[in-house]
Structure 1
Amino acid sequence: MCHLQARRTQGRYERKRFGESPSVLDVDGFRVPDSSATEDSSVFGEGTVWFMWNNIAGDTMIERLREPLSHSKGGCIISHPPSTGKTRLTIVFLQSYLKLFPKCRPVVIAPSNLLLNWEAEFQKWAMDIPFHNLNSKNFSLKEDEGTVGVFHCLSGAAKKNPHLIRMVKLKSWAKSKSVLGISYDLFRILTGEDGEEGHTARNEHNLVWKALKKVETEKRILLSGTPFQNNIKELYNTLCVVSPKFAADLEQKWASLSSSIDKNARALEELRDILSPLVHKCSENVKNVSLPGIRDTVIHLKPTELQEELLKRVPENPGSFYEQNLMSLISVHPSLVANRKEFSELESQLKERRCRLDPDIGVKMKFVIELIRLCGGLKERVIIFSQLLDPLNLIKEQLNSLFSWTLGREILYKDGKLDVNQRQISINSLNDPKSDVKVLLASTKACSEGISLIGASRVVLLDVLWNPSVEQQAINRAYRNGQTKFVHVYCPVTSKWEVDKIEQQTRKRYHSDVILSRNEENTSCSVSEDIILECMVKHDGLRHIFEKLSHAPRVVPSTCFYFGSQPSKGSS
């Protein structure tokens, strides 16, 4: 903070001395919040806000901003890793933008659980700018007094009406300088795109994508550490939401390059050059705290005889989601498919209590139970991520049966149905070193974004996902600022199909790395011996479940790269 203030003061002096116009960084109240006073992090934060101004407004010089600028790109993507302060830097930008354009009415659209984070950050860093959370049933006490006065004249029943509460917040947002927060689902419903689906907007058939396309303003900022998801087509659809005009101008060229990736070695690099003016990318290296390190291990396990028998009844390369789910469930524990018609003659055997509660019958279950048990002895906590909930519930049952562990004490469970307050209680408990927590059983979909789970240092990805960015987000719940231990990530696999999925993930990651980075140099990542895994592999009672181990370079951070020209003092 002190360094930034001195730098800004020096910049103001130089601009005044040489008769230059003041920049947006000279606006009263401008500040880049940062827990570190290091020069690199301060310059990075200021550079990010500068990048937003250039892309959203078209310039950073106040005099030039008085007139409409034709060279504004209209939107940008801030692609920074988790816990590097994307939210805070965006709040800084909004602070300075609202100082110059007080009639502007910003809207933040995010998953409902992340809106609570935004609300907390505004309370911490932007006391003069109210944040109205449209998804919350509670008032922030910063609503328009006249509107609130009218609301309090209503009957008791009317005061509980969520639509009327939202009207008070909307009216308050429209009347005075403030920011509105709304979830993807609520935004989709209010814009008339009703239906059930996730919050990601990556294809033209997605209801959220359709809802976002209805927004009239061209001034849009996307905050995402993983803007590249499944394929290049989805990246273009994301670009259509961020900067519609920019995307429209390059539609034909984008289509031509994306279709020639396998034949043209330069195609990915050309796509990268097209995107570079819109993307501010930086890696884990900008984090204020130096993390101990991370290691990702793919663990090839040998299925049990019962598992092999069941797997023979599923296609080796399952095509439908139903078949894929069957294979995933069988690989964890056979009892998970007891009610499926394909295995009706084994139903009675699979439903037996001794079968369901025996970890030895399922190789992934055996691995997970032993890992959790050994980690508990070394005071390390484990997160088990799964896209399917049945395996998590079975792990919970087996831990209770084997060790008498109870839910809420040694075992934490989080899925999308968990109450927001209870979710936060679970997070606090996991991150509290004094609690008795041993393991968190977490839905990948519900817990892969926006939360800090640094109380755990072991992460198990129970199933392999098609989308590598979702796995990366899940891993980054534990591997983020504040983590004091080396993080070990385990991906157990039992079939060729799962191995093939990992290979496809690697290809997608390569595309993402090339498109979103130019001068990529992998920094050396410290390697820590995995005493627990080594003990398991050598143990007489466990060595038979392991086929081989491979250390995948899937989570090695790359160096920081700034897209666009780095601003110098007194220049735009």
Structure 2
Amino acid sequence: MDSVHPDLLRFLKEHQKEAIKFLFDRVIGKNGTVTARSGAILAHCMGLGKSFAIITFLHAVLSNDVTSKKISRVLIVCPKNVIAHWEKEIKNWIDCPGRRLADNIQISCISSTSKDTRFYDVRQWSETTDKKQILIIGYEMFGNLIKSGGEMKNFLQNPGADLAVFDEAHRLKNDESIGYQLISKIRTYRKIFLTGTPFQNDVMEYYNIVHLISPKLFVSKDRFRKDFSLPIDKGRSKDACPGDVKKMQVLCKVLYKKTKDIIHRKGVKVLTDEIGIEKEEVTFMVRPSKLQKKLVEAYLNRINPETGKAPPKNAVKDHPVVSRILTHPSLFYEYEKTNPNKTIQWMNATTQIDTQNESSIELSNKLMLLIQIIKYSEKVGDKILVFSQYVLTLNFIEATLKRVSEEWKNQSKNGWGWSRGKDYLRIDGGVDSYSRHAYQDIFNKSSNPRCRLLLISTKAGSLGTNMIGANRVVIFDACWNPTHDIQSLYRVYRLGQTKPVFIYRLVTSGTVEEIVYNRQIAKEATGHRVIDEADIDRHFTREELKHLYRFKYVPEDEPPIIKGNFNDSLTAIVAVVSHDSFFDEFNEDEVSEDEVSKFEEIYDNKK
């Protein structure tokens, strides 16, 4: 750690120090000899401060007289919505008042600037010799500039950077994607891939990332699939026999050993031990309102008036429609008014809404419970994040807050209502990277207790934001891909958090929402491919698909189960279920070294 500046060293945690030493040995060379020309994967659990570890490492490399002679141009490729995060974090740590450590380091960002400006910035990064250069660019822009050919391709790909960092590297899991192909062809030898604890859902994704760094580690992709991927998947299935489970455990340990010199792993236990705060996750199983019940039943049993038959079942298309109903009936009606299809024809008088009462929150128990949670958070002085995967849902929640604002203001001890920009903020796909971080700064200020709610689009805002000003999170609707929901809770459960964290999932009981939620928490969730929205039907059996279209209503006279401080919503809650997003990590003690060595010998003899 001799190359690390003391002003940065004092902030490093032990796992970050380990990571920096690992990167020096693997990417630079032992004892700073600059003899290594290889890559590494930093696979640290979300919230452990990978960005700071990388910034400290890059500063050490670019500031050292020996290493900087061979490494002076650094490229950081990341999702476009975290470009501002990287720029801000780098400047916060090495170029801020009281810590001016970047006198000879120039930081540039390529975003949606003009073509001429982009060319100038990239050329300056590539050709400037009097200063060390860090260029930050989004994945899409990086690919587009390389595909444009000419000098731009040479700058970025051939010869490219002296050292390249790829953030959110799980984006590169598909070796047939254009992005993967472009990155596999860059001439940069020193590559660092950053990800949360990776590839536990698809072993072939594991192979693809490792192949970018060490293409000769495994014999071939087909051999890897046969020797590792297929038997591991077989051992993870819910009906696996004990022999298959044991083989899976041995193979996981073999993979761990074969890649330990490439991948630096730190799991969730390090995070929980480091921050030392309580995390409580609960799922509220919510009863649908009577109108929601009628609408869902009518939709699931609808008949096409032109054919006289039920339309083909399509989970991808039907799930968002049902979700609109379960958010609030008026959302569905509003959608149908502007939708060209004819599903409106299956509705009858029993499912019509009273136009004078169409926005009442009493038509949605989930919405009523959400308001109760927000009220309680305000009462105890906690800030809260609310995630939804649908922009329409965020719109409706926002509209609801505005409708109740005056009444809320009169009842609030602080006289606060719901004014956007003062009482709450919103992050969705329409908010650029720099605005996100401006919102983050506003929201996280402890001196600004009035700004106490942040509405977030799950996919747009579950990455690259640090929202430790909040300690409560509501996941309003579960995603098919559980990774998105887990990433959401890491916005508050991370290094720097000082208050107990509370996570609330709202699931409408007896509906497709409960099916999706159960799918998330089933044991096989860690052993099967994460479901992409486009592949939903392919990942369910016919019998499982039938369950997606069944509706089980829990009568109101059935006693609710409740704990907490949401007494006003007792009749709306069917059950409260404890939840833990942190799956157990692989236990190395489950297999012996003899078992591992035996398989390694068999595998090596096949080469």
Q: TM-score range by the shorter chain?
A: 0.7 to 0.9
- Over 3 Å counting, the alpha-carbon distance change for 1:296 and 1:318 in structure 2 is farther
Deviations 1:295-326 (A, max 9, x none): 11121111112212222245599643211211
Residue in 2 that maps onto 1:223: 194
Match of 1:182 in 2: 137
Aligned position for 2:317: 322
CA displacement 1:349-382 (0-9 Å, x = unmatched): 7676544421111222122122112222222222
Q: Which amino acid aligns with 1:117?
A: H
Contact 1:131/1:180, CA 8 A, preserved across alignment: yes
Of 435, 446, 452, the residue aligned with 1:438 is: 452
Checking the alignment, whether the CA contact within 8 Å between 2:319 and 2:512 is kept in structure 1 is: no
Q: In the alignment, does 2:277 pair up with 1:292?
A: yes
| 1:90 to 1:46, Cα distance in 2 relative to 1, 3 A | same
Q: Is 2:80–2:433's contact at 8 Å kept on the other side of the alignment?
A: no
Seen in structure 2, the aligned counterparts of structure 1 residues 419 and 116 have a Cα distance that, compared at 3 Å, is closer
Tell me how far apart the structure 2 counterparts of residues 318 and 441 of structure 1 sit (CA, whole Å): 32
Secondary structure at the counterpart of residue 456 of structure 2: strand
CA shift for structure 1 position 50: 2.0
Which letter does structure 1 place at the counterpart of 2:297?
A: K
Alignment partner, residue 87 of structure 1 = 51
Aligned CA distance change for structure 1 residues 109 and 168 (closer, same or farther; 3 Å) = closer
Q: How far apart in 2 are the matches of 1:118 and 1:294?
A: 28
Match of 2:107 among 106, 131, 156: 131
Give 1:259 shift. 1.7
Cα 1:256–1:220 shift into 2, 3 Å: same
Give distance in 1, aligned partners of 2:399 and 2:32.
Answer: 62
Contact 1:300–1:546 (8 Å) recurs in 2: yes
Partner residue, 1:549: 576
The residue aligned with 1:371 is 373
- CA distance in structure 2 between the aligned counterparts of 1:439 and 1:353, rounded to whole angstroms: 29
**How far apart in 2 are the matches of 1:301 and 1:169?**
53
Q: Work out which of the residue numbers 214, 223, 247 in structure 2 matches 1:252.
A: 223
* Structure 2, unpaired ranges of 5+: 95-100, 150-167, 236-243, 302-311, 337-341, 407-417, 529-561, 589-607
Against the structure 1 CA distance between its residues 293 and 364, is the aligned structure 2 distance closer, same or farther, given a 3 Å change threshold?
Answer: same
1:400 offset after TM fit, Å?
1.0
Does the Cα contact within 8 Å between 2:81 and 2:432 map onto a contact in 1?
no
How far apart, in 2, do the equivalents of 1:356 and 1:205 lie?
A: 48
Distance 2:204 2:148 in 1: 22
* 2:500 equivalent to 1:486: yes
Of 485, 490, 493 in structure 2, the residue corresponding to residue 476 of structure 1 is 490
Task: Tell me if structure 2 keeps the 8 A contact 1:282–1:559.
Answer: no
**SS of alignment partner, residue 517 of structure 2:** helix
- Residues 51, 367 of structure 1: alpha-carbon distance in 2 compared, 3 angstrom cutoff: same
Rounded to whole Å, the distance in 2 between the matches of 1:344 and 1:363 is 26
Change in CA separation of 1:511 and 1:401 when aligned onto 2, cut-off 3 Å: same
**Residue 560 of structure 1: CA displacement?**
12
**Residue 427 in structure 1 maps to residue 457 in structure 2:** no
Structure 1 residues 47 and 542: CA distance shift in structure 2, 3 A:
closer
Answering whether residue 295 of structure 2 is matched by residue 310 of structure 1, we say: yes
Give 2:209's match in structure 1, choosing from 234, 238, 252: 238
Q: How do residues 181-200 of structure 1 correspond to structure 2 at under 5 angstroms? A: 181-192=136-147, 200=171
Pick closer, same or farther for the CA change 1:326–1:53 going to 2, 3 Å. Answer: same
Distance 2:423 2:578 in 1: 30
Q: Is the 8 A contact 1:226 1:469 kept in 2?
A: no
Matched, 1:409 2:404: no
Query: 1:280 corresponds to which letter in structure 2?
Result: H
Return closer, same or farther for 1:255/1:393 CA change in 2, 3 Å cut-off.
farther
Q: Given that residues 304 and 363 in structure 1 are in contact (C-alpha distance below 8 angstroms), is that contact kept between their aligned partners in structure 2?
A: yes
Between the aligned partners of 2:367 and 2:148, the Cα distance in structure 1 is 41
Q: Which moved more, 1:97-106 or 1:482-491?
A: 97-106
Aligned match of 1:504: 519
CA contact (8 A) 1:454 1:483 kept: yes
Query: In 2, Cα distance between the equivalents of 1:269 and 1:460?
Result: 39
Moved more, 301-310 or 168-177: 168-177
| 1: CA distance, partners of 2:430 / 2:213 | 30
Q: CA offsets per residue over residues 202-231 of structure 1, 9 Å max, x none?
A: 324434333323323343211112423753
Query: Which whole-Å CA distance do the structure 1 matches of 2:569 and 2:75 have between them?
Result: 54
Shift of 1:262: 2.6
Residues 47 and 491 of structure 2 are in contact (CA less than 8 Å); yes or no, is this contact kept in structure 1? no
Query: 2:262 aligned with 1:267, yes or no?
Result: no
Distance 1:556 1:267 in 2: 17
Report the CA distance shift for 1:253/1:121 in structure 2 as closer, same or farther (over 3 A): same
CA distance in 1, matches of 2:455, 2:313: 26
Deviation at 1:543, TM superposition (A): 1.5
Which of 429, 436, 461 matches 1:447?
461
Report the aligned-residue RMSD.
Answer: 3.5
In 2, the alpha carbon distance for the partners of 1:36 and 1:285 equals 20
Q: State the shift of 1:469 in Å.
A: 2.3
Distance, in Å, in 2 between the alignment partners of 1:269 and 1:221 is: 28
Instruction: Report Cα offsets for 1:471-499 as digits up to 9, x if no partner.
Output: 22110111122323211111111245333
Aligned: 1:167 with 2:135: no
1:555 alignment partner, SS class:
coil
Q: Closer, same or farther in 2 for the Cα pair 1:35/1:558, shift >3 Å?
A: farther
Cα gap change, 1:426 to 1:314, in 2 (>3 Å)? same
Cα contact 2:478–2:517 (8 A) shared by 1:
yes
For 2:134 and 2:79, locate their aligned partners in 1 and report how far apart those are by CA, in whole Å.
Answer: 16
The 10-residue stretch of structure 1 (272-281 or 284-293) with the greater mean CA deviation from structure 2: 284-293
Relative to structure 1, the CA distance from residue 62 to residue 435 in structure 2 (aligned partners, 3 Å threshold; closer, same or farther) is: closer
**Matching residue's letter, 1:183:** G
SS in 2 for 1:108: strand
Secondary structure in structure 1 of the residue aligned to 2:179: helix
- Within 1, Cα distance between the matches of 2:512 and 2:86? 40
Distance 1:346 1:500, change over 3 A: closer
- The more displaced of 462-471 and 502-511 is 502-511
How far the C-alpha of 1:553 sits from its partner, in A, is 2.1
Shift of 1:240: 3.6
Residues 335 and 355 of structure 1 are in contact (CA less than 8 Å); yes or no, is this contact kept in structure 2?
no
Structure 2 length normalisation: TM-score? 0.70
Asked whether the equivalents of residues 302 and 545 of structure 1 are also in contact (C-alpha less than 8 Å), the reply is: yes
- Shift in CA distance, 357/447, structure 1 to aligned 2, threshold 3 Å: same
Match of 1:33 in 2: 8
Among 359, 362, 366, the alignment partner of 2:361 is: 359
Q: How far apart are the structure 2 equivalents of 1:347 and 1:132?
A: 60
Percentage of identical aligned residues = 23
How far did 1:557 drift?
8.2
- Which of 86, 104, 107 aligns to 2:75? It is 107
For residues 106 and 509 of structure 1, the distance between their equivalents in structure 2, rounded to whole angstroms, comes to: 37
- Find the aligned partners of 1:534 and 1:88 in 2 and give their Cα distance: 37
The yes-or-no answer on 1:55 pairing with 2:69 is no
Contact 2:475 2:504 in 1 (8 A): yes
Distance 1:33 1:467, change over 3 A: farther
> Structure 1 pair 542/215, CA: closer, same or farther in 2 (3 Å)?
same
Structure 2 counterpart SS, 1:259: helix
AA partner of residue 390 (structure 2): L
Q: Is the alpha carbon distance of 1:252 and 1:283 closer, same or farther for their aligned partners in structure 2, counting shifts above 3 Å? A: same
Counterpart secondary structure, 2:147: coil
TM-score using structure 1 length: 0.74
Report deviation, 1:286. Answer: 4.6
Q: How far apart are residue 274 of structure 1 and its match?
A: 1.6
2:474 aligned counterpart, secondary structure: strand
Contact conserved, 1:77 with 1:222, CA < 8 A, in 2?
Answer: yes
